[in-house]
Amino acid sequence: MAHKNTILMFLRKSGPMCDDCLSSTTLIRPRQSINSQCRNLTESSQIVRAKYSCPLCHKEKIINSLTGSDYSLNTVNRGARQADEHGDFYQEGKISLTLIEYAVQKLAYMVANGDIQIYNEFSLQHELGIILRGLVTGSLVQFERNVSYFGLTKSEFVKKEIDIVVYDSPSKPQAAIELKFPQNGQHPEQMFKSCKDIVFIEQLKESGFDRAYFIVFADDRLVYEGGGDGIYPYFRSEKKLTGPIRKPTGSRDETVTIRGEYTLKWNEVYGSMKYAIVEAQ
């Protein structure tokens, strides 16, 4: 029991790690004792064991992480397994939801592990773009491309610049990604801007992009928790995002209309940070 408590304490304090690193960190010897104790903890659903790169020694091994922790390795490995099973993780010239989910899960894992930090929308854009460049081959991953670059008329869109775009050539755009990282309060304003982003990705999909996504990270609980009416339930209670949505503050003279139906499903990163992904229908 003492060893189990020690293992749980160090996983809670230091994060996921392999059996070897856990043995070195806890000073529990021999290493086989760690393996046995972790298997028992897995059977009792207290930890999750999955194959991944160990955050400490960076070797591909079975990694231990707390069940129900703020971020579980299981989510990253589930995305990778789905990609292998469906065979569409990435083929040249093709972006899939599986790839985007995996890229975001990898980003969330790196943030939770302290490998990188995201602290505003630009840092989110930068770090996700780096991960995507490592996943796609033969295609460009660029930032802040104007819609006119792809032969589209700016006046027909609710926004002009695309946060992240993946393409082979201007005539063959693969994927557009819009990002939000709400900060500094102004919750209803940020929520309305997110709705505008969803309209934008719908417009891009209708205009020839194979795929288009909206990704939101939030470390402010008031973005995804609490009550309220108007625009709040779309972000706090999984009310379907669809139809006309009026700007909730100021002159309230602006309305955007979402054609599809979307539900924001929040995923844990760590602490109060969560994320959600929407793909344009």
Question: pLDDT 10s per residue in the chain (281 long)?
Answer: 578 888 888 888 777 888 988 888 888 888 888 999 998 998 888 888 877 777 777 777 888 888 765 444 455 455 444 444 444 445 555 677 778 888 888 888 788 777 889 999 999 999 999 988 888 877 899 999 999 999 999 999 999 999 999 999 999 899 999 999 998 778 999 999 999 999 999 999 999 999 999 999 999 999 999 988 999 999 999 899 999 999 998 888 899 999 999 999 998 888 889 999 999 99
Q: Which of 68, 58, 56, 60 is nearest to 15 (CA)?
A: 56
Sort residue 155 into left (φ over 0), alpha (ψ -120 to 50) or beta.
alpha
Element (H, E) at 233: helix 232-236
Contact 200, 164 (CB under 8 A): no
**Alpha-carbon distance 193 to 158, whole Å?**
10
Q: Quote the pLDDT of residue 147.
A: 97
The model's pTM: 0.71
> Structure tokens of 191?
């929520």
Domains of the chain in sequence order: 1-66 (1.10.10.10), 97-279 (no CATH)
Q: Quote the pLDDT of residue 70.
A: 46
Do β-strands 173-180 and 140-146 pair in parallel, antiparallel, or remain unpaired? unpaired
Q: Quote the pLDDT of residue 49.
A: 81
**Alpha-carbon distance 271 to 54, whole Å?**
21
